[in-house]
Amino acid sequence: MSPFYGETPYVQHEIETNYRRLFYSRPEQALITDITLAAGYGILKAGTVLALNKSAAGNYNKYVPYNPTTAAYGDPNQVGRAFLIDTPSGTTVNVVLQDSYKFVVGDDLIIDDDNSAAENLGAITAIDRTTYVHIAAITVTATISGTFTLAQNGFVCVEAGDSSNIYSDAVGILGATVDTGLGEKAKGALAPMIRSNAILYDGLLTNIDAASRTDLSATLEGRYLIIK
């Protein structure tokens, strides 16, 4: 008998994903390297497309989820983003407290939404996690020039590529499911990343798009993604 009384019985149906087979080709023939993932992104599934933090400081040279061009709130493709909770102005953006742990002081911050051109806001100079219990205020170097709104799914993310694709360039694919942690206790993770010489099941890649396939020099043939 449960020691917790007053619980309502229920059944929650979910699809188990950890058993899935990512490789069509032989995994031992792929070029795979060990990497360090930045903290705060929660559980990242095998098959997550990755990018490399290009900031001059902060989490420089740690890996983060790649940001596809389009990803609405709630979409698994948005894992690399921290969505805005109000319309930002000046040099401050506000995000949910838990999401703020995806960033550290020194990271270069990118802001964008579904209807604007992305802006590079420069380095984060401060993250205020104490003024409010549920909000973190992130202060950046550059002044925000555009209007980024909640209605257009405004968000911020780290600089992980050039300006042509929300400053996010794909560099590899996560080879195992790992937990990078959430909130203040997040520590990041060590993980294998697939770089080349592999044939993968494209349907098992969680945040891939045409731009990331180009970045990876990959070819889509039916249900297979061929990385040479």
**Residues 195-226: tens digit of each pLDDT:** 999 999 999 998 898 999 999 999 999 999 99
Radius of gyration of the chain (CA): 19
User: Residue 5: pLDDT above 80?
Assistant: no
pLDDT band at 170 (very low <50, low <70, confident <90, very high): very high
Strand blocks (E) in the chain: 31-37, 43-44, 49-52, 63-65, 82-83, 92-96, 108-112, 119-128, 135-140, 155-158, 170-174, 178-179, 189-196, 198-201, 218-221, 224-227
pLDDT reported for residue 1: 47
Considering the chain, what is the average pLDDT of its residues?
89
Dist. CA 179–CA 64, nearest whole Å: 12
User: Residue 10: pLDDT above 60?
Assistant: no
pLDDT tens by residue, 59-85: 999 999 999 876 555 565 688 999 999
pLDDT tens by residue, 82-101: 999 999 989 999 999 999 99
| Signed CA dihedral, 62, 66, 69, 72: sign only | negative
pLDDT tens by residue, 11-60: 655 555 555 689 999 999 999 999 999 999 999 999 999 999 999 999 99
Dist. CA 29–CA 38, nearest whole Å: 27
pLDDT reported for residue 201: 95
pLDDT tens by residue, 101-138: 999 999 999 999 888 889 999 999 999 999 999 999 99
